[in-house]
Protein backbone atom coordinates (compact mmCIF):
# COMPACT_ATOMS: atom_id res chain seq x y z
CA UNK A 1 0.00 0.00 0.00
CA UNK A 2 1.38 3.43 -0.98
CA UNK A 3 2.34 5.84 1.79
CA UNK A 4 0.21 8.93 2.24
CA UNK A 5 2.17 12.14 1.62
CA UNK A 6 2.16 14.87 4.26
CA UNK A 7 3.14 18.39 3.24
CA UNK A 8 3.68 21.31 5.63
CA UNK A 9 3.32 24.75 4.10
CA UNK A 10 3.04 28.41 5.03
CA UNK A 11 0.64 30.63 3.11
CA UNK A 12 -0.61 34.21 3.18
CA UNK A 13 -3.87 33.10 1.55
CA UNK A 14 -7.02 31.90 3.29
CA UNK A 15 -8.61 29.75 0.59
CA UNK A 16 -11.94 28.01 0.08
CA UNK A 17 -10.73 24.70 1.51
CA UNK A 18 -9.58 26.41 4.71
CA UNK A 19 -12.91 28.23 4.86
CA UNK A 20 -14.88 24.98 4.63
CA UNK A 21 -12.80 23.35 7.36
CA UNK A 22 -13.11 26.35 9.69
CA UNK A 23 -16.89 26.32 9.39
CA UNK A 24 -16.84 22.64 10.40
CA UNK A 25 -14.36 23.05 13.26
CA UNK A 26 -15.67 26.41 14.48
CA UNK A 27 -19.40 26.32 13.72
CA UNK A 28 -21.30 29.58 13.97
CA UNK A 29 -23.64 31.98 12.24
CA UNK A 30 -21.52 33.00 9.28
CA UNK A 31 -24.00 35.40 7.76
CA UNK A 32 -21.77 36.24 4.78
CA UNK A 33 -21.45 32.54 3.90
CA UNK A 34 -17.75 32.59 4.71
CA UNK A 35 -15.68 32.37 7.90
CA UNK A 36 -13.13 34.83 6.50
CA UNK A 37 -12.47 37.53 9.10
CA UNK A 38 -10.50 40.80 9.18
CA UNK A 39 -7.36 39.10 10.52
CA UNK A 40 -6.97 36.44 7.81
CA UNK A 41 -5.54 38.74 5.15
CA UNK A 42 -2.58 39.77 7.29
CA UNK A 43 -1.99 36.39 8.90
CA UNK A 44 0.42 33.64 7.95
CA UNK A 45 -1.46 30.36 7.70
CA UNK A 46 0.22 27.07 8.60
CA UNK A 47 -1.23 24.24 6.53
CA UNK A 48 -0.82 20.48 6.77
CA UNK A 49 -2.10 18.48 3.80
CA UNK A 50 -2.35 14.73 3.25
CA UNK A 51 -2.20 13.76 -0.43
CA UNK A 52 -3.03 17.40 -1.26
CA UNK A 53 -6.15 17.40 0.93
CA UNK A 54 -6.20 19.86 3.83
CA UNK A 55 -5.83 17.96 7.10
CA UNK A 56 -5.17 20.85 9.47
CA UNK A 57 -4.47 24.56 9.69
CA UNK A 58 -3.55 27.34 12.09
CA UNK A 59 -2.70 31.02 11.76
CA UNK A 60 -0.30 33.57 13.20
CA UNK A 61 -1.73 37.08 13.51
CA UNK A 62 1.02 39.72 13.70
CA UNK A 63 0.81 42.50 16.32
CA UNK A 64 -2.58 41.23 17.59
CA UNK A 65 -3.52 44.15 19.85
CA UNK A 66 -6.67 44.86 17.84
CA UNK A 67 -7.56 41.15 17.86
CA UNK A 68 -7.53 41.19 21.66
CA UNK A 69 -9.41 44.48 21.83
CA UNK A 70 -12.16 43.28 19.49
CA UNK A 71 -12.40 39.69 20.77
CA UNK A 72 -12.43 40.48 24.48
CA UNK A 73 -14.14 43.88 24.25
CA UNK A 74 -11.40 45.57 26.26
CA UNK A 75 -11.57 43.06 29.14
CA UNK A 76 -8.02 41.89 28.55
CA UNK A 77 -5.17 43.86 27.01
CA UNK A 78 -1.77 43.06 25.60
CA UNK A 79 1.07 45.46 24.79
CA UNK A 80 1.09 46.84 21.24
CA UNK A 81 4.33 45.42 19.87
CA UNK A 82 5.48 44.23 16.42
CA UNK A 83 7.41 41.48 18.26
CA UNK A 84 4.15 39.81 19.33
CA UNK A 85 1.98 37.35 17.41
CA UNK A 86 -1.19 35.37 18.14
CA UNK A 87 -1.47 31.66 17.39
CA UNK A 88 -5.07 30.67 16.87
CA UNK A 89 -7.76 28.99 14.78
CA UNK A 90 -5.88 25.71 15.17
CA UNK A 91 -8.08 23.10 13.52
CA UNK A 92 -7.84 19.51 12.32
CA UNK A 93 -10.21 17.85 9.88
CA UNK A 94 -12.42 15.21 11.56
CA UNK A 95 -10.85 12.67 9.19
CA UNK A 96 -7.38 13.22 10.69
CA UNK A 97 -7.98 13.74 14.39
CA UNK A 98 -5.99 11.64 16.83
CA UNK A 99 -3.09 11.32 14.37
CA UNK A 100 -0.57 13.89 15.68
CA UNK A 101 -1.65 16.57 13.16
CA UNK A 102 -2.70 18.93 15.97
CA UNK A 103 0.68 18.76 17.69
CA UNK A 104 2.46 19.14 14.35
CA UNK A 105 0.50 22.34 13.65
CA UNK A 106 1.36 23.82 17.04
CA UNK A 107 5.07 23.03 16.84
CA UNK A 108 5.34 24.18 13.23
CA UNK A 109 3.62 27.47 14.05
CA UNK A 110 5.99 28.08 16.96
CA UNK A 111 9.02 27.35 14.79
CA UNK A 112 7.65 29.75 12.20
CA UNK A 113 7.17 32.38 14.91
CA UNK A 114 10.84 32.07 15.86
CA UNK A 115 11.94 32.24 12.22
CA UNK A 116 9.77 35.32 11.65
CA UNK A 117 11.51 36.93 14.64
CA UNK A 118 8.51 37.06 16.94
CA UNK A 119 9.59 37.34 20.55
CA UNK A 120 6.25 36.48 22.17
CA UNK A 121 3.37 34.21 21.14
CA UNK A 122 -0.12 34.59 22.59
CA UNK A 123 -2.93 32.08 22.31
CA UNK A 124 -6.08 30.96 24.08
CA UNK A 125 -7.85 27.80 25.21
CA UNK A 126 -10.91 26.76 27.16
CA UNK A 127 -10.11 25.04 30.44
CA UNK A 128 -12.04 21.94 29.36
CA UNK A 129 -9.72 21.17 26.44
CA UNK A 130 -7.86 17.87 26.56
CA UNK A 131 -4.76 19.40 24.95
CA UNK A 132 -3.95 21.76 27.85
CA UNK A 133 -1.05 19.55 29.05
CA UNK A 134 0.47 19.81 25.57
CA UNK A 135 0.30 23.61 25.69
CA UNK A 136 2.05 23.53 29.05
CA UNK A 137 4.77 21.25 27.68
CA UNK A 138 5.37 23.65 24.81
CA UNK A 139 5.91 26.51 27.27
CA UNK A 140 2.60 28.38 27.39
CA UNK A 141 1.57 30.03 30.66
CA UNK A 142 -1.73 31.67 31.67
CA UNK A 143 -2.11 35.36 30.86
CA UNK A 144 -4.77 37.21 32.82
CA UNK A 145 -8.06 35.62 33.82
CA UNK A 146 -10.48 33.61 31.64
CA UNK A 147 -12.80 35.80 29.57
CA UNK A 148 -15.67 35.31 27.15
CA UNK A 149 -14.66 35.94 23.54
CA UNK A 150 -16.71 37.46 20.72
CA UNK A 151 -15.87 36.55 17.13
CA UNK A 152 -16.88 38.06 13.78
CA UNK A 153 -20.22 36.64 12.56
CA UNK A 154 -20.41 34.14 15.42
CA UNK A 155 -21.90 34.00 18.87
CA UNK A 156 -19.83 34.32 22.01
CA UNK A 157 -17.36 31.56 22.74
CA UNK A 158 -19.06 28.56 24.32
CA UNK A 159 -17.05 28.99 27.53
CA UNK A 160 -14.58 31.50 28.99
CA UNK A 161 -11.19 31.40 27.29
CA UNK A 162 -7.90 31.44 29.16
CA UNK A 163 -5.37 33.58 27.34
CA UNK A 164 -1.90 32.05 27.30
CA UNK A 165 1.54 33.35 26.40
CA UNK A 166 5.11 32.18 25.89
CA UNK A 167 8.49 33.63 25.02
CA UNK A 168 10.19 32.13 21.96
CA UNK A 169 13.70 32.94 23.20
CA UNK A 170 15.91 29.88 23.48
CA UNK A 171 13.11 27.44 22.70
CA UNK A 172 13.77 26.66 19.03
CA UNK A 173 16.03 23.62 19.53
CA UNK A 174 13.49 21.92 21.80
CA UNK A 175 10.61 22.67 19.42
CA UNK A 176 12.64 21.42 16.43
CA UNK A 177 13.37 18.19 18.30
CA UNK A 178 9.71 17.82 19.15
CA UNK A 179 8.78 18.27 15.49
CA UNK A 180 11.20 15.47 14.55
CA UNK A 181 9.51 13.23 17.12
CA UNK A 182 6.05 13.99 15.73
CA UNK A 183 7.18 13.34 12.17
CA UNK A 184 8.78 10.08 13.27
CA UNK A 185 5.49 8.92 14.79
CA UNK A 186 3.66 9.90 11.61
CA UNK A 187 6.20 7.89 9.61
CA UNK A 188 5.51 4.82 11.72
CA UNK A 189 1.78 5.41 11.14
CA UNK A 190 2.28 5.18 7.38
CA UNK A 191 2.93 8.75 6.24
CA UNK A 192 5.77 10.09 4.10
CA UNK A 193 6.94 13.69 4.46
CA UNK A 194 7.06 15.86 1.37
CA UNK A 195 7.31 19.61 1.98
CA UNK A 196 8.94 19.86 5.39
CA UNK A 197 7.96 23.38 6.40
CA UNK A 198 10.36 25.13 8.78
CA UNK A 199 13.93 23.88 8.80
CA UNK A 200 15.22 22.29 11.99
CA UNK A 201 18.58 24.04 12.33
CA UNK A 202 18.78 26.14 15.49
CA UNK A 203 18.98 29.90 14.96
What pLDDT is recorded for position 202?
A: 41
42-89 tens-digit pLDDT: 999 999 999 999 999 999 999 999 999 999 988 999 999 999 999 999
Task: Please report whether residue 171 resides in a domain.
Answer: yes
* Tally of domains within the chain: 1
Determine the average pLDDT of the residues in 35-45. 96
Task: Please report whether residue 98 resides in a domain.
Answer: yes
3-state SS record for the chain: CCCEEEEEEEECCCCHHHHHHHHHHCCCCCCCCCCCCCCHHHCEEEEEEECCEEEEEEEEEECCHHHHHHHHCCCCCCCCCCCEEEEEEEEECHHHCCCCHHHHHHHHHHHHHHHCCCCEEEEEEECCCCCHHHHHHHCCEECCCCECCECCCCCECCCCEEEEEEECCCCHHHHHHHHHHHHHHHHHCCEEEEEECCCCCCC
Q: What is the CATH number of the domain that holds 143?
A: 3.40.630.30
pLDDT above 70 (res 201): no
- Residue 139 lies in domain: 4-196
Task: Please report whether residue 203 resides in a domain.
Answer: no
Task: Please report whether residue 202 resides in a domain.
Answer: no
Task: Please report whether residue 150 resides in a domain.
Answer: yes
Task: Please report whether residue 126 resides in a domain.
Answer: yes
Task: Please report whether residue 127 resides in a domain.
Answer: yes
Task: Please report whether residue 65 resides in a domain.
Answer: yes
142-157 tens-digit pLDDT: 999 999 988 766 555 6
Amino acid sequence: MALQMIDIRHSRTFDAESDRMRQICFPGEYSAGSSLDPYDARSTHVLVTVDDTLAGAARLIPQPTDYYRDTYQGRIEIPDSPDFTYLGRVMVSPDYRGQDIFELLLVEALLLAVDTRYDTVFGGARKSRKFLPLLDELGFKPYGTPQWGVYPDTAESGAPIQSIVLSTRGRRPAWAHRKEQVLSRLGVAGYAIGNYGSLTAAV
